């Protein structure tokens, strides 16, 4: 028999509005200190220790250059309002003491935020390019073949792709280019004792792919010849990167001058994680280094990864299809367990982008990007793209993966204003985890509930080793389309559950969102409990279910139900 649950919207059921009012009424320094205490505690906690999963933080890829976007000054405002952010800054360039103009520019960008971070003892993150990309510049390709870190073809031509079989010693060179610099030394002098520094790389340097080795790499052919298996090629390419990247990281660490920076720096790579597209189409391994030993070599290389929870604007992915970020990223659950076995404190954050761009007047390139925005595709599909839809989508990814940081992406020239409400929905989604005791408990200790009634819909060319791992966490609803599903099958409601307790005393946290419209009286089957009937809005809704009392309790009183 179904249990009718009282309806509480995601933002309505939680204490965020109350929490936000309280921090706005306090002295900024007090609010910042309270936020800083939580930020430090969570950022420095073990990835999966006895205290459970660390509560999430918000960060960004947009560095706020030229006063646009997510500037350091805006981050100071966010901290003073009590938001739970991991401060982010651009990689320092040039010599800040070259002249008065350089010093003023450096101070204008770094000064206020870095001073506040030091006063509060906050961790920081520095957003970087892909440091190793310098190794395929013309001057490196002009070196003798034995010294060249770029790919050398069978014809003897050095091409602009990094080689996993080239000389290792050149991988120390980026340290001098990017770390042993006046700007980086100035940062260390201004904040000599941060508890944690993340060096976050774009990690998009052009490199040799495993399926290209016989065509493009003389070194591979000289060493291994032709006719090796795909598995072998993936393995030796991965091993090449596993040997070279740590050399670069160690050289960069050694080039730091402040002892705390040397000790506390961690290297995090965009996309440095296993394949979300695992099993999606027959040729998915072309874009993977999976072997019998690992789903990805990245946790042998990096201290952490920031895989992309992206509804890309250049492909057909949607936030309401089987081909969606929500379905794809379910593949990361078993991969994270593998990563933690190899590197127990591997730092998992997620990078997020909803596929939307902003046109900057006078920039025809960005005007073209705007026309390709995902929201334009949704309009063509007869839909709308609203902050509510964004909030539901981002929360599903958060609660599925429970990352340490949600790092949003917007283009480097994007101004803040068109996206302020969307970004503040992300801030709200993270802040409410900190503000609500029940949510914090489920985030730390909840067990994601698998739906064993079905297989994950991505089933192409699955290695034997992985055919029985749990990969499906979407709960059944009465609105589900008839199976089998195709990549463009619409999923009306996305829902998941986390459990706490033991048999007879289980509690579940149910989260559900409906991308295309608010829906009423949706029946959702929670494994181990039964069917509940709930309302599911676009922005998402949370419900607490208690097995012992057969009772669904609201998380907060209805009086908290105001828009954040």
Q: Which domains does the chain have, with CATH numbers?
A: 52-132+173-205+235-437 (3.20.20)
DSSP state of 191: S
pLDDT at 193: 98
Are 170 and 157 in contact by the 8 Å Cβ rule? The answer is no
The answer to whether the Cα torsion of 336, 339, 340, 344 is positive or negative is: negative
pLDDT at 560: 30
Task: Please give the Cα distance from 482 to 527 (Å, whole number).
Answer: 20
Task: Please give the Cα distance from 276 to 158 (Å, whole number).
Answer: 32
Type and span of the H or E element at 262: helix 259-264
**Omega prior to 484 cis, within 30 of 0:** yes
pLDDT at 27: 43
Strands 265-270 and 88-90: unpaired
pLDDT at 365: 60
Strands 447-448 and 494-500: antiparallel
Mean pLDDT, consecutive 10-residue stretches, the chain (564 aa), reads 30 30 46 97 96 98 87 96 97 95 96 97 97 98 98 98 98 98 98 98 98 98 98 98 98 98 98 98 98 97 98 95 98 98 98 85 68 89 96 98 97 87 97 97 98 98 96 98 98 98 93 97 95 94 89 46 27
pLDDT at 528: 93
pLDDT at 66: 77
Residue with tokens 């920076």: 261
User: Could you give phi then psi for residue 57, rounded to 5 degrees?
Assistant: -130, 165
Six token digits for residue 126: 């520095």
CA atoms within 13 A on the CB side of 79: 33
Neighbours of 173 (CB within 10 A): 17
pLDDT at 172: 98
Taking the model in full, what pTM does it have? Answer: 0.92
Cα separations in angstroms, 356 against 133, 250, 535:
27, 37, 28
CA atoms within 13 A on the CB side of 197: 26
pLDDT at 551: 67
pLDDT at 555: 54
Q: Is 463 exposed, middle or buried (0-12, 13-18, 19+ CB in 10 A)?
A: middle
Task: Please give the Cα distance from 217 to 236 (Å, whole number).
Answer: 13
Are 323 and 365 in contact by the 8 Å Cβ rule? The answer is no
| 3-class DSSP assignment, residue 119 | helix
Strands 350-353 and 347-348: unpaired
pLDDT at 264: 98
pLDDT at 552: 61
Q: Smallest Cα–Cα separation from 70: which of 86, 92, 93, 94?
A: 86
Task: Please give the Cα distance from 66 to 311 (Å, whole number).
Answer: 27
């Amino acid at each position: 028999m179904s249990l009718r649950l009282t309806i509480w919207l995601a933002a309505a059921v939680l204490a965020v509005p109350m929490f936000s009012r309280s921090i706005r009424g306090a002295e900024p320094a007090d609010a910042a200190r309270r936020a800083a205490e939580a930020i430090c505690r969570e950022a420095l906690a073990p990835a999966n220790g006895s205290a459970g999963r660390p509560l999430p933080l918000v960060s960004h890829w947009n560095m706020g250059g030229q006063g646009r976007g997510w500037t350091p000054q805006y981050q100071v405002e966010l901290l003073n309002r009590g938001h739970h952010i991991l401060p982010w800054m651009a990689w320092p360039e040039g010599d800040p003491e070259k002249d008065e103009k350089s010093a003023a520019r450096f101070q204008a960008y770094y000064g206020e935020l870095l001073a506040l971070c030091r006063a509060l003892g906050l961790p920081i993150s520095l957003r970087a390019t892909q440091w190793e990309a310098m190794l395929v510049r013309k001057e490196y390709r002009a070196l003798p073949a034995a010294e060249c870190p770029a790919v050398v073809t069978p014809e003897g031509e050095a091409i602009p792709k990094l080689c996993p079989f080239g000389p290792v010693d050149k991988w120390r060179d980026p340290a001098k280019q990017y770390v042993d610099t006046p700007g980086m030394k100035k940062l260390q002098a201004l904040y000599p004792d941060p508890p944690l520094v993340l060096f976050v790389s774009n990690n998009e340097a052009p490199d040799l792919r495993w399926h290209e080795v016989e065509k493009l790499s003389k070194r591979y052919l000289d060493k291994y010849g032709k006719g090796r298996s795909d598995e072998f090629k993936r393995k030796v390419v991965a091993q090449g990167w596993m040997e070279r990247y740590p050399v670069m990281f160690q050289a960069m660490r050694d080039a730091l001058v402040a002892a705390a920076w040397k000790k506390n720096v961690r290297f995090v790579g965009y996309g440095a994680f296993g394949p979300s597209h695992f099993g999606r189409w027959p040729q998915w391994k072309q874009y993977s280094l999976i072997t019998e030993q690992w789903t990805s070599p990245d946790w042998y290389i990096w201290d952490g990864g920031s895989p992309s929870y992206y509804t890309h604007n250049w492909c057909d992915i949607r936030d309401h299809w089987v081909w969606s970020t929500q379905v794809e990223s379910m593949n990361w659950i078993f991969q994270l367990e593998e990563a933690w076995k190899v590197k127990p404190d591997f730092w998992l954050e997620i990078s997020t982008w909803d596929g939307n761009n902003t046109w900057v007047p006078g920039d025809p390139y960005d005007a073209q990007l705007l026309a390709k925005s995902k929201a334009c595709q949704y309009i063509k599909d007869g839909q709308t793209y609203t902050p509510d839809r964004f909030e539901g989508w981002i929360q599903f990814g958060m609660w599925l993966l429970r990352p340490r940081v949600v790092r949003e992406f917007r283009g480097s020239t994007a101004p803040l204003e068109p996206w302020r409400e969307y970004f503040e929905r992300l801030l709200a989604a993270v802040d409410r985890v900190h503000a609500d005791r029940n949510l914090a408990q489920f985030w730390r200790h909840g067990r994601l509930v698998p739906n064993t009634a079905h297989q994950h819909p991505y089933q192409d060319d699955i290695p034997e080793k992985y055919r029985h791992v749990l990969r499906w966490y979407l709960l059944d609803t009465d609105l589900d389309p008839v199976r089998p599903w195709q990549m463009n099958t619409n999923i009306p409601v996305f829902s998941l559950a986390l459990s706490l307790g033991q048999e007879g005393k289980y509690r579940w946290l149910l989260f559900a969102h409906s991308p295309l419209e608010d829906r009423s009286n949706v029946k959702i089957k929670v494994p181990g409990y039964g069917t509940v009937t709930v309302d599911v809005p676009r922005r998402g809704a949370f419900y607490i279910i208690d097995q012992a009392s057969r009772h669904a309790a609201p998380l907060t009183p209805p009086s908290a139900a105001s828009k954040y």
